Amino acid sequence: MTSPEHPLPPALHAPSPHTPATLPGWRLERASHGRLDFIDSTGQRHGDVDVLRAFPVSAPAGPVVIVATDGAELAWIDPLSDLDAPLRGLLETSLSQREFLPVIERIESVSDGEPMEWSVVTDRGPRWFTVAHIDDIVYAPDGSVSITDSVGVRYAIPQLSRLDSRSRRLLDRLD
């Protein structure tokens, strides 16, 4: 996941002794290879936990969950801002890798038929991917578009109306 030279302290204690007010009863530790260990209120250690958002699309700032490797829920954090800064930072770093969401800035071409072959320019550079089905392109009522490619990577268009007209035409043609 995280590279070892990631600029973060090697360990972070959730209930920092100086800030007992936000004491959640558990803490997180950075383990080797950027993994996170979760130590629950009884002191039991869960290695390599996963941090994720419960509503990544509909409430991207909403509740965050810490999940053990076996899928069991360890902690429910809602909202994240209740936590003290170091712990929050640790969680946000972990989330940011999970929430890899390139923003499409321009559509170069979209092939006809399914699967569609897309060639786009994102905020993270140019990209070529395939979309298996038209249902994988989801138009939200707020004007944003979410596209999931055939390997599960999501791409976002935050505001369709702000896309250039050629890209919009390419997208329009798909319906």
Partner 1 sequence: MSALKSRIASPSAGASNGSLSPGAGDRFELESGEKVVASCRFDLDANLRFTDGSIVLTDRRLMADPPASADGGPAFDGSPRSWRLDPETTIDVHLRSAVGRIELAQQGRVVARWLFTPARAKGVHALEDAFDARVHGQTPQSRDTEADTDTDADTDTDEQPESGAPAGGKSLSEDEPAASGMGTSWRALFRVLAFARPHASMAILGIFLTLASTVATLVPPYLTMPLVDSVLIPKQAGEPIPFAHVWWYLGGLALAATAAWLLSWARSWTLAWVSERIAADLRVKTYAHMQTLSLDFFSGKRTGDLMSRVGSDTDRINIFLSVNVIEFASNVMLVVLTAVVLIWINPWLALVTLAPFPLVVWLVYAVRTGLRRGFARASVAWADMTSVLADTIPGIRVVKAFAQESREVARFSDSNDRVLDANDRVNVVWAFFGPLVSLFSEIGLLVVWAAGAWMVFSGSVTVGMLTAFLTYISRFYGRIESMIHMVPATQRAATSAQRIFDILDCQPTVAEAARPINPGRVRGRIEISNLHFRYGAREILHGIDLTIEPGEMIGLVGTSGSGKSTLANLVCRFYDPSSGSIKIDGNDLRDLSITDYRRNLGCVLQEPFLFFGTIAENIAYGCPTDATSDPDELRQRIVAAARAAGAHEFILAQPLAYDSRVGERGGSLSGGERQRLSIARALLVDPRILVLDEATSAVDAETEAIIQAAIDRLVAGRTTIAIAHRLSTLRRANRLVVLDHGRIAEMGTHDDLLAAEGAYARLYHAQQKAAEEAAAGV
Would you tell me which residues interact with partner 1 (CB under 8 A)?
52-59, 62-63, 65, 67, 71-73, 76, 78, 135, 138, 152, 154
CB count within 10 Å of CB 40 equals: 15
| Nearest to partner 1 of 25, 62 (CB atom) | 62
| Nearest to partner 1 of 36, 170 (CB atom) | 36
- In whole angstroms, the minimum distance from the beta carbon of 17 to partner 1 comes to 31
Count Cβ atoms within 10 A of the Cβ of residue 155 and give its class: 0-12 exposed, 13-18 middle, 19 or more buried: buried
- In whole angstroms, the minimum distance from the beta carbon of 11 to partner 1 comes to 25
| Nearest to partner 1 of 85, 153 (CB atom) | 153
- In whole angstroms, the minimum distance from the beta carbon of 71 to partner 1 comes to 5
CA angle 109, 140, 171 (to 5 degrees): 15
- In whole angstroms, the minimum distance from the beta carbon of 166 to partner 1 comes to 28
User: How far apart are alpha carbons 92 and 24 in whole angstroms?
Assistant: 17
User: How far apart are alpha carbons 46 and 36 in whole angstroms?
Assistant: 9
- In whole angstroms, the minimum distance from the beta carbon of 1 to partner 1 comes to 17
The residue type found at 37 is D
User: Which stretches does DSSP call E strand in the chain?
Assistant: 27-30, 36-39, 45-46, 50-53, 64-67, 73-77, 104-110, 116-122, 125-131, 137-139, 145-148, 154-157
The residue type found at 44 is Q
